[in-house]
Amino acid sequence: MAKKKKAGKESEGSNIRTPIVCVLGHVDHGKTSLLDWIRGSSVVSGEAGAITQHIGATLVPFDAIGRMSGALQNLQINVPGLLFIDTPGHHAFTTLRARGGALADMAILVVDINEGFQPQTIEALEILRTYRTPFVVAATKIDRIHGWRVNKNAPFKKTFETQGDRAKQIFENKTYELIGKLSEMDFACERFDRVSDFARNVAIVPVSGVTGEGVPDLLMMLIGLAQRYMTEALAVSVDGPGAGTVLEVKEERGLGMTLDVILYDGTISVGEEIAVATADGVINQKVRSLLKPRPMSEILVEERFERVKTVTAAAGIKVSAPHLEGVIAGSPLRVVRTPADRDEINEEVRREVEEIHVNLAEEGIFIKADTIGALEALAKELQDHEIGIMRAEVGPVSRHDLIEVGTIKDKLNAVLLAFNTPILPDALEMLKDPTCRATVFTGDIIYKLIDDYTEWVEEQQRRIEAARFEHIILPAKITILEGCTFRQSNPAVVGVRILGGKLRNGVNLVRRDGKRIGQLKTIQIRGENVSEADAGAEVAISIDGPTIGRQINETDELYAEIPEHHVKVLEKEMLPTLKQGMKEVLEEYTSMRRKEHPFWGK
């Protein structure tokens, strides 16, 4: 699997660095529980090489994994361990970027085996596809399968052997459902112990984040992925200049403003110069100190952090330096080794922050999100839905944004989608004003945001159509009832039956020979004025123009006169919405007209 990330310069010190792992999946499917179990049980596995807490991440060294899984003795292991990003979810995944790609080298996609695929599972898969990130599927909560016998911490095979036939059957069915769903999305996959070609198939590992069953297998699969397919991508020059991503900008007592950074390449040391981005441009500062969390056992020590001189990728580290106020979370951090490199590196940092991979269209909507990664993920989904984007920006929704959106002519495009980013108070105020033309949709789930927007568009289109069709004169055919002439003329008042279509006030009436006889003034049902009447109804109408017994007679049939351009709309656009009876009247009417002029209304 190709990785976009570049390794550092080749040098004598080349080494394989710790792969970075991120956990993704639908809400409540068990991401946090699984991470906790991995972290917790490796603490318990104790002694040498147990986990080390990083800033924003946890390093699970390989020997701890080995002890947990037991089955690894025969494997050649070249990676030191796995660095798990502590914050699960695809928002963290898209925020943490490294040189235009995803920071995480690999991912665990968590799916509750009992619930199967959910909207955010699909969203996570699309994100993994976009970033071409290798991943394994953790099918969680196997212990909830009806009749499951728990074997705490056991590898999958072991626990599966002890299950009864019924539990096994349910499990197999659920697994096949998962495989089916993944293949619908063009991911070939198999249960991990049945995969023969890991380059072609995504492995599904059944696990429980509560009992730890299957977790050893999951870790083994991750190590395998890293080893087999990423060796090249993970090769770093240990002593090359450090490159990382800013997770958070935080004020710490006694230290001032600090940066929590995931270092993914090279080395960073105290005293070195760094380049990071602020909202006003790139700044350069000297590293004052590098800090790691203290191990749990020493937590009572006055200072919460331990100072180190040098850190090598991959690692989570706190960086203290002067004047870090204004640094953007998500900004790249680069070490500048010599002043000669400064301009070039600063330019690279600037470009990385500004480079938003979104294809903009001449016509379309506005989108905003809290991070570049989130913005790109939203843009990608919109493009897949063929929704044009005119502008894409990071940040909260401002009054200024709404004014600009409001200038877009097409109402359906005068829209702003705000993904995971707030609306500022003055913009909120503006939205309350009924004259504000901008429509804003907010949300923190991409598919939901897009659904809300498309549903709104459909509703608007229905309304626009309805408003346009409202003025179209509908077909109607009536007959004057015998003995029901109540007034001969000025206006003529007669009883009629509507033979077909819908009769509306104000229409002109024509005879079967096409000659107009007058205008319909009022319709009454049992003495009450109404504006329209449907087929089958018997009503009294007044007509301005004719005299009964002269231009028209009792038992005559009349039509509502339909102008030629209305016939075009009726035949070309409204036909599917017309009832059968109305269509028949329309046909009679047009054939009457077309006797003389064959192309009338065409």
Binding residue for ligand GTP, selected from 54, 90, 91, 141, defined by CB under 6 A: 141
Residues forming a β-bridge with 263: 244, 315
25 carries a ligand binding annotation: yes
Select 33 or 258, whichever has its Cβ closest to ligand GTP.
33
479 carries a ligand binding annotation: no
Q: Which of residues 88-107 bind ligand GTP (CB under 6 A)?
A: 88
Q: Is 153 in the site for ligand GTP (CB under 6 A)?
A: no
Q: How far apart are CA 124 and CA 70, in angstroms?
A: 31
Element (H, E) at 108: strand 106-112
Q: How far apart are CA 219 and CA 260, in angstroms?
A: 26
Binding residue for ligand GTP, selected from 3, 5, 17, 29, defined by CB under 6 A: 29
Binding residue for ligand GTP, selected from 143, 352, 376, 401, defined by CB under 6 A: 143
R_g of the chain computed on alpha carbons: 35
Q: How far apart are CA 407 and CA 438, in angstroms?
A: 8
Q: Is 163 in the site for ligand GTP (CB under 6 A)?
A: no
Q: Which pair of tokens denotes residue 562?
A: 């339909």
* φ, ψ (nearest 5 deg) of residue 300: -80, -15
Q: How far is the CB of 166 from ligand GTP (least distance, A)?
A: 18
Q: How large is the angle between the packed helices 215-229 and 62-69, nearest 10 degrees?
A: 130
Q: How far is the CB of 95 from ligand GTP (least distance, A)?
A: 16
Q: What CA dihedral angle connects 224, 226, 229 and 233, to 10 degrees?
A: -170
Q: How far is the CB of 120 from ligand GTP (least distance, A)?
A: 8
CA 421 to chain centre: 14
Select 87 or 201, whichever has its Cβ closest to ligand GTP.
87
Q: How far is the CB of 177 from ligand GTP (least distance, A)?
A: 18
What is the longest distance spanned by two Cα atoms in the chain? 113
Q: How far is the CB of 207 from ligand GTP (least distance, A)?
A: 7
Select 28 or 252, whichever has its Cβ closest to ligand GTP.
28
Residue 535 near residue 585 (C-beta atoms within 8 A)? no
Cβ neighbours of residue 129 closer than 8 Å, sequence gap 6 or more = none
CA 482 to chain centre: 66
Residue 510 near residue 478 (C-beta atoms within 8 A)? no
368 carries a ligand binding annotation: no
Q: Is 346 in the site for ligand GTP (CB under 6 A)?
A: no
Choose the binding region for ligand GTP from 136-144, 299-307, 321-329, 344-352 (rule: CB under 6 A).
136-144
Select 28 or 451, whichever has its Cβ closest to ligand GTP.
28
Q: Is 28 in the site for ligand GTP (CB under 6 A)?
A: yes
Q: Which pair of tokens denotes residue 501?
A: 């279509």
Select 209 or 545, whichever has its Cβ closest to ligand GTP.
209
Select 62 or 148, whichever has its Cβ closest to ligand GTP.
148
Choose the binding region for ligand GTP from 92-100, 139-147, 239-247, 429-437 (rule: CB under 6 A).
139-147
Binding residue for ligand GTP, selected from 144, 158, 250, 342, defined by CB under 6 A: 144
Q: Is 208 in the site for ligand GTP (CB under 6 A)?
A: yes
Q: Is 27 in the site for ligand GTP (CB under 6 A)?
A: yes
Q: How far is the CB of 112 from ligand GTP (least distance, A)?
A: 8
3-state DSSP percent of the chain in helix, strand and coil, to 5:
30, 30, 35
* φ, ψ (nearest 5 deg) of residue 384: -65, -30
For ligand GTP, how many residues bind (rule: CB under 6 A)? 16
Cβ neighbours of residue 70 closer than 8 Å, sequence gap 6 or more = 155, 216
Choose the binding region for ligand GTP from 168-176, 183-191, 204-212, 317-325 (rule: CB under 6 A).
204-212
Q: Is 206 in the site for ligand GTP (CB under 6 A)?
A: no
- Whether residue 314 is preceded by a cis peptide bond, meaning omega within 30 degrees of 0, is yes
Q: How far apart are CA 410 and CA 531, in angstroms?
A: 33
Q: How far apart are CA 440 and CA 431, in angstroms?
A: 8
Select 210 or 438, whichever has its Cβ closest to ligand GTP.
210
Residues forming a β-bridge with 417: 367, 441
Select 144 or 304, whichever has its Cβ closest to ligand GTP.
144
Select 214 or 332, whichever has its Cβ closest to ligand GTP.
214
Q: How far is the CB of 351 from ligand GTP (least distance, A)?
A: 34
Sign of CA dihedral 548, 551, 556, 561: negative
- Give the residue ranges of the annotated binding site: 25-32, 86-90, 140-143
The annotation places the binding site for GTP at 25-32, 86-90, 140-143
Q: Which residues bind ligand GTP (CB under 6 A)?
A: 25, 27-33, 88, 140-141, 143-144, 208-210
